[in-house]
Amino acid sequence: MPGSRAQAFVRFALEQGVLNFGDFTMKSGRRSPYFFNAGLFNDGASVGRLGQFYAQALADSGLDFDMLFGPAYKGIPLATTAAIALSNHPSRGSRPVPFAFNRKEAKDHGEGGMLVGAPLQGRVVIIDDVITAGTSVRESVAMIRAAGAQPAAVLIALDRMERAGADDALSDGSAVQEVERAYGIPVVSIASLADIMALLEDDAALARHRDAVSAYRARYGVQ
């Protein structure tokens, strides 16, 4: 069930130190009572398990796709581990799972260019950890379309369900909702802030963080 998968992922992220509660200053300057850093999935076992979560979320979505794309830099290992997990997932049968990623700077020797991996073609799923400003999605969509392929979806680890902007000028929708509106493609997440809240409700050891996260969601969140 997608719900149990999401809850299992939240607990996994907590066990790995990827999800933490406290007082964190975000890149935007906003202070958050929780922080999610997918870069701390940093050993073979945890990255392999992460790939399985990505694969299951994509399978549960029922979306048709032909390949994966990981935007540099963080999306590169994410697309790689997801492709490995999907290659062993029963939803794919014997179909291959090609993947590609981009360089930040064009290579001027060897094969050259900005792209590495399988040629971008067909329906492409963009894989990242979270969506904040949506910059990597915008750049990825442009590269995919320039290659003549079709962006099919964005697959992320965590949907923060959070509006962007200054406190007196918050966006109408979350970063995820803005991406869906801008590009007409779905965003699939392994888990969301709602799943984190469910964990805080159910786990007495984490209950002390519940009020702070709830207040943050009330101030910045979307349903």
The answer to whether 89 is a known catalytic residue is no
Alpha helices in the chain (DSSP H): 2-15, 44-61, 75-87, 135-146, 175-183, 193-202, 210-220
> Which amino acid, residue 38?
A
Question: Can you tell me the distance from the alpha carbon of 21 to that of 214, in angstroms, rounded to the nearest whole number?
Answer: 12
Length of the chain: 223
The answer to whether 74 is a known catalytic residue is no
Q: How many CB atoms lie within 10 A of CB 1?
A: 7
Helices (H) and strands (E) in the chain, counts: 7, 8
Tokens representing residue 207 in the block:
């209950």
In the set 89, 104, 109, 209, the catalytic residue is: 109
Helix (H, G, I), strand (E, B) or coil at 33: strand
Question: Can you tell me the distance from the alpha carbon of 53 to that of 85, in angstroms, rounded to the nearest whole number?
Answer: 9
- CB–CB of 160/188 below 8 Å? no
Question: Can you tell me the distance from the alpha carbon of 139 to that of 97, in angstroms, rounded to the nearest whole number?
Answer: 22
* Strand-pair category, 113-117 with 99-107: antiparallel
Residues with a known catalytic role: 107, 109
